[in-house]
Structure 1
Amino acid sequence: MTSRVMVLGVGAFAHSVQSILQEDGAETACYLTRPYSHFGPKIVGQT
């Protein structure tokens, strides 16, 4: 069974957490807590 995880954050934190979780087989989505970021989580998954 695939885990589904919602990451709350912004920038490099959200990006790295999503990447790590996806490497372990989880489906991820991200809620951006601020309207800006340098390493956008959209690159890794759904926002």
Structure 2
Amino acid sequence: MELGADRVLQIETYGSADRAVPGKVSQVIQLDRSAALALKAIIERAFPEH
């Protein structure tokens, strides 16, 4: 997703099918490049290849 000249990674979460408005986005998490790279590093440490 791009906001103006900046690109962000947007992650949307959804509640259960039993919620008041099924299919409605519960939370939106937007990460700029720096935050996305930090998240990538965390994931790589949690799930190393070897």
TM-score over 0.5 (shorter chain): no
TM-score by length of 1: 0.32
Relative to the length of structure 2, the TM-score reads: 0.31
If asked which structure has higher relative contact order (CA below 8 Å, sep 6+), I would say 1
